[in-house]
Chain A
């Protein structure tokens, strides 16, 4: 061994150590910031926490109150959106995985779906705004709606229905993506065995493939729930906000994210506290749902 080589080894070793230390630093740096955020959130959230949050309405400036109407609105709108969007997403995912797997159309749908999956959520809000809220009484959209429903109950103004629609536009791509992925994980042997028994294809899909992929599909739905429960942008100009408890879907409805947005940007100290408490509630809900989703998630083969 010559000394030149020794120098080379030392240099390479030093380079390796240096860059790996940089990686450790990067990791430490990133994790510290994320830790700060969670720390501040939990500290401020718990300081502001109060059982009244669940029983009282959002207060006007200077008064005491809670977040009951916002919590209710969030639960109702997210729940409805998930319930209505899941069947659509599941069926579309089934088409992609079972019928159209290698087809041109399936490729195209998959591509468009992936774009929708990461498209900015504020665009979704604008879409539903133009589609529902922006309609005038004599516009084409309102006429179609009146024909279909018998009454024009929600076109032309802000409403919880518009909020639900915009959340659905976010849920559908998530469910399509995960249910397709999960259905593709089901071994073909299962499908062939069922088909060999003489079961029609639709029965094979419903009784065998869906059942085998059930855990994965539920995971997808839960991920969608986690995704929309913190969405603010699409609700701002569809469901708007409501200072009072409202169960009328044709009227504006409060939601936690919209209330946080309004309260955090206000000058009132008490509203800031409520915003923190709301932020903690959302984070807790999202983390719980994602953890459940993770536990249910099937191992990748």
Chain B
């Protein structure tokens, strides 16, 4: 403590020895305490795995590997299979990534290169704050605002554009939207004649909720996350490199595409995979709008389910051990998938850190 330094002058030699010994004992104790706390982190991880496996045991015993490939989900006959949930999880996440990664990188480029300097910090901070908004907010917005709007204005039109072919009727969506949608519909219609399965993807009754809506909301949710990570990585690119490229006469885009992006590649991919990990396990933004249907439909507009949505929707209502344990096994599968994604993202980012450490 602070007073020991003052008191030290007055201590005799044996007293000093005692003080040093006391300090040594305290040191050992404190070190042991921090060590135990660090081990606790490992124990939590092991505990998560062990408890999920333990809870899933009845389902694992009952269904074995066929749980992974079965499309059954019938609480009455006690037959459960994970395939529809896994399918929904993967498709919604990849679709969300497909939309959010280019836009997120676009935002990052905008913030580091194009945005007027006084606006950079406020917009950057705003995006970081948005990344912290709880996902249930996105869920409730999706359910009450986005899904009805999407159903009324976009879904009907897209189904028509890809299927029946009447794109001129865009009811009540205003002049601006109309001006965008009509030529777009013409384009999509022509695409459909070349790519036959495109029509099936957007077929079916417009429910508003469904796999596609969930993916859109998921992509809006991970957008701030991707752009703030990407922006951070872009800012680690040494100014010298960029200036050298400009000095050679590169255009802004060439500097971004040939210098900044290659330099930041590992970081961007790592950040995107962290976002993928989030999207895969996201519960609340998805549960509200996915429709919770344990069938695999060809159409993206049809209701579907994801692992986390199944668990959130059904867990408290699950009757019987096998039902509960099947849901826990779903959780185990989700944990495994996210573990693989997050672990590779981490290793990638560690490699980047080591490189950055070595370079400086």
Q: Which residues of A contact B (CB under 8 A)?
A: 12-13, 15-20, 22-27, 29-31, 33-34, 36-38, 40-41, 44, 87-92, 94-96, 98-100, 105-106, 108-109, 111-116, 118-124, 126-127, 129-131, 134, 169, 172-173, 176, 197-203, 205-207, 223, 226-227, 229-233, 236-237, 240, 257, 260-261, 264-265, 272, 275-276, 279, 282-283, 286-287, 290-291, 294
Give the shortest distance, in Å, between A153 (CB) and chain B (any CB): 20
In contact, B312 and A203 (Cβ under 8 angstroms): no
For residue A176, which residue of chain B has the nearest CB?
B41
B334 neighbours in A (Cβ, 8 Å):
120, 122-123
Are A24 and B114 touching (Cβ within 8 A)?
yes
**Distance of A129 Cα from B2 Cα, bound (Å):** 46
Q: Is B54 an interface residue (CB 8 A)?
A: yes
Q: Which A residues touch B115, using CB under 8 A?
A: 27
Contact with A along B219-238 (1 / 0, CB 8 A): 01001100100000000000
A238 to chain B, nearest CB (A): 11
Q: In the bound complex, what is the Cα–Cα distance between A260 and B136 (angstroms)? A: 8
**Residues of chain A contacted by B8 (CB below 8 angstroms):** 198
Contact (Cβ within 8 A) B137 A127: no
Q: Do B106 and A27 touch across chains, with their CB atoms under 8 A apart?
A: yes
Total residues of chain B contacting the partner, CB 8 A = 96
Q: CA of A23 to CA of B112 in the docked complex: distance in angstroms?
A: 11
Inter-subunit contact B52/A201 (CB<8 Å): no
- Taking the nearest CB of chain B, how far is it from the CB of A301, in angstroms? 12
In the complex, are the beta carbons of A114 and B47 less than 8 A apart? Answer: no
Interface SS of chain B: helix, strand, loop or mixed? helix
Q: Is the CB of B34 within 8 A of A121?
A: no
Name the contact of B346 in the complex, choosing from A37, A105, A111 (C-beta under 8 A): A111
Which residues from A are CB-within-8-Å of B36? 91
A-B contact list, 30 entries, CB within 8 Å: A16-B254, A20-B253, A23-B106, A23-B110, A23-B113, A24-B114, A29-B103, A30-B104, A37-B138, A37-B220, A91-B34, A92-B40, A95-B37, A95-B38, A99-B35, A100-B35, A108-B42, A111-B346, A122-B283, A122-B334, A127-B51, A130-B55, A134-B55, A200-B23, A200-B26, A202-B23, A232-B136, A233-B283, A279-B136, A287-B132
- Cβ contacts under 8 Å, A122 to chain B: 281, 283, 308, 311-312, 331, 334
Give CA–CA (A176, B41) in the complex, Å: 9
- Cβ contacts under 8 Å, B220 to chain A: 30, 33-34, 37
Are B335 and A119 closer than 8 Å at their CB atoms? Answer: yes
Indicate if the CB atoms of A26 and B338 lie closer than 8 Å: no
Residues of A within 8 A of B227 (CB): 30
Residues of chain A within 8 A of B44, CB atoms compared: 116, 169, 172
Give CA–CA (A150, B101) in the complex, Å. Answer: 53
In chain B, positions 268-292 with a C-beta closer than 8 Å to chain A are 274, 277-278, 280-284, 287-288
Q: Is the CB of B125 within 8 A of A123?
A: no
Question: Which of chain B's residues has its CB closest to A241's CB?
Answer: B316
A96 — nearest CB in chain B belongs to which residue? B38
Inter-subunit contact B107/A27 (CB<8 Å): yes
Query: In whole angstroms, how far apart are the Cα atoms of A41 and B130 in the complex?
Result: 13
Q: Is B183 an interface residue (CB 8 A)?
A: no
Contact with A230, one of B47, B123, B137 (Cβ below 8 angstroms) = B137
Q: Which residue of B lies closest to A132 (CB)?
A: B51
CA distance A290 to B252 in the complex (A): 34
Which residues of A lie under 8 Å from residue B51 when comparing CB positions?
Answer: 126-127, 130-131
| Contact B37 A119, beta carbon cutoff 8 Å | no
**A contact residues around B140 at 8 Å (CB):** 260, 264, 275-276, 279
Measured between beta carbons, the chain B residues less than 8 angstroms from A231 are 134
Q: Pick the contact of A113: B2, B41, B133, B145 (CB < 8 A).
A: B41
| Cβ contacts under 8 Å, A201 to chain B | 27, 30-31
Any chain A CB within 8 A of the CB of B48?
Answer: yes
In contact, B129 and A22 (Cβ under 8 angstroms):
no
B343 and A115: CB pair below 8 A? yes
Q: Is the CB of A202 within 8 A of B26?
A: yes
Contact A99 B31 (CB under 8 A): yes
Contact A232 B38 (CB under 8 A): no
A272 touches B331 (CB 8 A): no
Cα separation A233 to B137 with both chains bound (whole Å):
13
Beta-carbon nearest neighbor of A272 in chain B: B144
Alpha-carbon distance between A223 and B132 when the two chains are bound, in angstroms: 9
Could you say which residues of chain A place their CB within 8 Å of the CB of B35?
A: 95, 99-100
Contact bitstring B38-63, A, C-beta under 8 A = 1, else 0: 11111011011001101100000000
- Complex contact B41–A172 (CB within 8 A): yes
B274: A residues at CB distance < 8 A: 118
- Residues A123 and B253 in contact, CB atoms below 8 Å apart: no
The reply on B5 being an interface residue by CB < 8 A is yes
User: Which residues from B are CB-within-8-Å of A120?
Assistant: 280-283, 308, 334-335, 338
Once the chains bind, are A286 and B134 in contact (CB under 8 Å)? yes
Q: A200-B23, A261-B284, A282-B137 are in contact. Are A26 and B107 (CB under 8 A)?
A: yes
Q: In the complex, what's the smallest C-beta–C-beta distance from A94 to chain B, in angstroms?
A: 5
B315 at the interface (CB under 8 A from A): yes
In the assembled complex, the Cα of A172 lies from the Cα of B43 at a distance in Å of 12
Mark out the residues of chain B between 316 and 360 whose CB falls within 8 Å of any chain A CB in the assembled complex.
316, 324, 328, 331, 334-335, 338-339, 342-343, 346, 350
**Closest Cβ of chain B: how far from A42's Cβ, in Å?**
11
Residues of B within 8 A of A129 (CB): 55, 315, 328
Interchain nearest-CB distance for B64 vs A (Å): 21
Contacts of A23 in B (CB 8 A): 106-107, 109-110, 113-114
Nearest chain B CB to A8 CB, angstrom units: 11
Query: A88 and B1: CB pair below 8 A?
Result: no
The reply to whether A200 and B137 form a contact with Cβ atoms under 8 Å apart is no
Closest 7 interchain pairs by CB? Answer: A230-B134, A120-B281, A26-B106, A200-B23, A91-B37, A16-B251, A202-B30
Q: Which residues of B135-191 have CB atoms within 8 Å of chain A's CB atoms?
A: 135-141, 143-145
